Amino acid sequence: MCLFPGLMPEAGLLPVTGGGQSPAPPAAGIVRAGAIRLRNLVAAALIPCSVLIGTAAHADDIIVYSPQVVQGQSEIEFRGDVLQDSSAAVNGTSNYQLSVAHAFTGWWRPELYVAEYRNIPGSGQQSQGYEFENVFQLAPAGKYWADPGLLVSWHHSPGTQPDSVEFGPLFEHRDRRLVHDLNLIWEKQVGPGADRKYAFRAAYSLRYQWKSAVQPGFETYLRPANSAYQVGPVLYGEIASREGSELEYSTGAVFGINRDAPDATWVLRLEYEFF
């Protein structure tokens, strides 16, 4: 059966020839028809793969960074997300990461992602490599209308895939109980086989600090390189202990607002901070 009728002639195995031309031998016609069928089957296999690459490849970027750095504070962080989509190649794809961080100064916090995995339906769990991330606070909090920061990270990919670097400014503005965060990030592959293009993405979050443990808000993600745009509600919170440590959480869902974005990405983030 033809998977893509528009790609195959509606005639039989023998090609139609013009006037004065001899018809191709039956064997040649069979070989040509077989090649066309093979081409169509390959196209059918690649279409879901291209959908998966175009959407799930950046699903682990569902995070909005704050430029704030607290000297001496250590962190253990978990991030996880699950994609929901009408495409069977994308639906059910999940990502999770585990990282550790420590702020050695009041302006620099390095973070090492010790585990990054993706689970693709039908393909199983796959390691995504390792990442060394740095957040730099560029000015004391409250000095400017928006507190500035800088994100710089290196991602080591598994196998023969090229590594990549990410960099870009971070901004945070506080207006009474409202907290705005904006990230403008560029990504560039490096090493053998690297793409020469820069991939840009932007992320924005707004939350209302109703209570320390309950802070409703929303997040927005723009990825022009993927033609993917998402927005949705997220609930934030901080639960502090008497010893000075605290557990931060955020959970919610961001929904695709165009066809190239996943229908929904369900998110859970947990971060334990201590001195």
The tens digit of pLDDT for each residue in 126-165 reads 999 999 999 999 999 999 999 999 999 999 999 889 999 9
Task: Supply φ then ψ for residue 118, to 5 degrees.
Answer: -130, 135
Q: For 55-77, what is the mean pLDDT?
A: 82
pLDDT of residue 244: 83
33 or 115: which carries more pLDDT confidence? 115
Write out the two tokens for 262: 């996943």
**How open is the CA angle 208-209-211, to the nearest 5 degrees?**
135
Closest-CA residue to 123 (of 97, 88, 156) = 88
Share of residues in the chain with pLDDT > 90 (%): 71
For the chain, domains (ranges, CATH) are: 5-54 (no CATH), 58-274 (2.40.160.40)
Give exposure, 57-80, as e/b (b: 16+ Cβ within 10 Å).
Answer: ebbbbbbbbbbebeeebebebebb
Share of residues in the chain with pLDDT > 70 (%): 78
Q: Is it the case that residue 41 has pLDDT exceeding 90? A: no
Q: Is it the case that residue 58 has pLDDT exceeding 70? A: no
Residue 249's pLDDT band (boundaries 50, 70, 90)? very high
pLDDT of residue 242: 82
pLDDT of residue 54: 41
- Cα dihedral value 252, 255, 260, 262, nearest 10: 50
pLDDT of residue 43: 41
Q: Which long-range contacts link 232-237 to residues 24+ away (Cβ below 8 Å)?
A: 232/264, 232/265, 234/205, 234/207, 234/267, 236/207, 237/211, 237/212, 237/213
Q: Is it the case that residue 48 has pLDDT exceeding 60? A: no
Residue 122's pLDDT band (boundaries 50, 70, 90)? confident
Which residues are registered as beta bridge partners of 124? 120
Q: Where do runs of H (alpha helix) occur along the chain?
A: 26-56
For the chain, give the longest Cα–Cα distance: 94
pTM of the model: 0.78
pLDDT of residue 1: 41
Mean pLDDT of the chain: 84
pLDDT of residue 44: 40
